[in-house]
């Protein structure tokens, strides 16, 4: 049972976060806490501006490597995930799995249009399991298109290629 695993020895790390307060409805931390209620609050590691400091990011990646970790990712209609957008000026670096794990501060992007913190794909791939949440029919269509894509013009296509052995696609309400 995933809940028992998370409580006993697992850690839930946030792959990305909008730079809003953690109690804001647009915060991933807020929404995850709300979704899971209080069951796993001590095992959630939010990202904040201090996360991008080298010593703090090293600590985060060490935890990711040393514990059983699960990454829960959503996706956008443009095929972005974890605040990795094709239109971001650093996209090629963030999606490149040859880069060492890193936490990026993005430009103002997405909806809402705010700066974000995100792990690059190399950092996300450190997780033992990666859950991709697909919660409506249009996103399912983006997923199906991404499964056929072989280049890097849809971020989700790269994730699907690189994380296939760890990836669990959760289709909610479709």
- Per residue in 54-78, pLDDT (tens digit) is 888 888 888 888 877 788 898 999 9
**Phi, psi (rounded to 5 degrees) for 141:** -65, -40
How far apart, in whole angstroms, are the C-alpha atoms of residue 156 and residue 86?
10
- CA separation (Å) from 40 to 33, 44, 48, 170? 8, 7, 19, 20
Percent of the chain with pLDDT over 90: 49
Q: pLDDT: is 10 or 15 the higher one?
A: 15
pTM of the model: 0.84
Q: What is the mean pLDDT of the chain?
A: 85
- Per residue in 79-101, pLDDT (tens digit) is 999 999 999 999 999 999 999 99
pLDDT band for 107, please (50, 70, 90 cuts).
very high
Q: What is the pLDDT of residue 8?
A: 52
Percent of the chain with pLDDT over 70: 88
Could you tell me which residues come within 8 angstroms of residue 24 by beta carbon, excluding any fewer than 6 positions away? 18, 30
Q: What is the pLDDT of residue 99?
A: 94
Lookup result for tokens 């590691």: 45
Q: pLDDT: is 10 or 117 the higher one?
A: 117
């Amino acid at each position: 049972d995933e809940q028992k695993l998370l409580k006993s020895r697992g850690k839930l790390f946030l792959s990305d976060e909008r730079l809003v307060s953690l109690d804001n409805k647009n915060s991933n931390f807020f929404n995850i806490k709300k979704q899971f209620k209080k069951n796993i609050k001590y095992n959630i590691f939010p990202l904040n501006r201090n996360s991008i400091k080298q010593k703090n990011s090293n600590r985060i990646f060490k935890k990711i490597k040393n514990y059983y970790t699960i990454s829960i990712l959503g996706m956008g209609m443009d095929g972005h995930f974890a605040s990795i957008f094709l239109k971001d000026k650093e996209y090629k670096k963030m999606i490149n799995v040859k880069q060492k794990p890193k936490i990026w501060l993005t430009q103002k992007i997405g909806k809402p249009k705010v700066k974000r913190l995100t792990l690059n794909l190399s950092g996300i791939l450190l997780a033992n399991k990666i859950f991709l949440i697909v919660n409506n029919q249009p996103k399912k269509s983006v997923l199906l298109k991404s499964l056929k894509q072989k280049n890097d013009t849809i971020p989700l296509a790269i994730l699907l290629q690189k994380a296939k052995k760890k990836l669990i696609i959760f289709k909610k309400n479709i």
